[in-house]
Amino acid sequence: MKASDNAPSSPIRLGVASYSFRKFGRVEVIEFMKQLSTPYLNVKEFHLPMTTPEQIKQVADEYTAAGIKLTAAGTIYFTEDNDDDMRSKFEYCKIAGIEVIIAGPTPKTLPRLERFAKQYDTKIAIHNHGPEDKYFPSPQDVLQLVKNMDPRIGLCIDVGHAARTGTDVPDAIYQAGPRLYDVHVKDLANAASKESQVAVGDGILPIGKIFAALIAIRYPGFVDLEYEINETNPMPGMIKSFAYMRGVLAGMGYKA
């Protein structure tokens, strides 16, 4: 018996942000997930359209039947400060059985979003999008606005976008603590360049320290690979990224 056979299961659950597969349909997404050996999918509207309740449920059930768990939806944008727009998006997630919304609100829409999060008992993970983001470039910008709101209002840390703002990502994870509801992982060759994305492990981001911080805060969510390059042929880089991340976890003493 190998020593690794006695290792504890990894507390880091690796998943995929379906934006990585934006050039592909649902059938291909399901096949790609099988190749990556993960059941956890943060689904984008490309792959679960906001249509009728019957159609939403039918598509969600197809994922379930394929062994895929829809862990979150988004990024979903909340730029209209009105009930009808928000309600339709919360209903979409409720029908699909999704409990976390990766959100792109504005400061103006946050109070209404908080009200709907309470009403639907849904976690809101506000996504930081780097220096180009008018409202939430870094995780700290999210925390500053939500720190006194209902605990269901939290954040999704995108580690690549965060790094481009000069953020110490492991430190941001500690700061977020229980308000951290999702993580999007990627890697960069140059922390100042959005265009420098590479397979995870080929860049400069401290993946081991990021995982250690998540484990230290007992992060209960998912770490979703968001692979934004090579959009017509993402799988080689994604397979390499998963192999690296699983290797890091194995090196930390966990079954990956």
pLDDT tens string 57-108: 999 999 999 999 999 999 999 999 999 999 999 999 999 999 999 999 999 9
Share of the chain above pLDDT 90, in %: 95
* Average pLDDT over every residue of 148-163: 97
Q: Is residue 146 part of a domain?
A: yes
Distance CA 37, CA 149 (A): 37
Tell me the angle at which helices 169-176 and 207-216 cross, rounded to the nearest 10 degrees.
10
Q: Which residues pair with 16 in a beta bridge?
A: 41, 225
Alpha carbon distances (Å) from 111 to 75, 98, 148, 159, 174: 19, 21, 11, 26, 25
Per-residue confidence at 184, pLDDT binned at 50, 70, 90? very high
Q: Is residue 232 part of a domain?
A: yes
So what's the pLDDT on residue 7?
84
* Average pLDDT over every residue of 104-121: 97
Q: Is residue 256 part of a domain?
A: no
So what's the pLDDT on residue 163?
96
Which residue range(s) make up the domain with 67? 3-251
Contact 30, 68 (CB under 8 A): yes
So what's the pLDDT on residue 64?
97
Residue type, 194: K
* Average pLDDT over every residue of 218-245: 97
- Number of domains, the chain: 1
Per-residue confidence at 6, pLDDT binned at 50, 70, 90? confident
For residue 206, pLDDT over 70 is answered with: yes
pTM for the structure as a whole: 0.94
Q: Is residue 198 part of a domain?
A: yes
For residue 26, pLDDT over 60 is answered with: yes
* Average pLDDT over every residue of 147-151: 95
Q: Is residue 168 part of a domain?
A: yes
Q: Is residue 240 part of a domain?
A: yes
So what's the pLDDT on residue 1?
37
**3-state helix/strand/coil string of 67-86:** CCEEEEEEEEEECCCCHHHH
Per-residue confidence at 4, pLDDT binned at 50, 70, 90? low
Output the average pLDDT for the chain.
95
Contact 173, 219 (CB under 8 A): yes
CATH number for position 11: 3.20.20.150
For residue 2, pLDDT over 50 is answered with: yes
Residues 6+ away with beta carbon under 8 Å from 47: 18, 21, 25, 26, 29
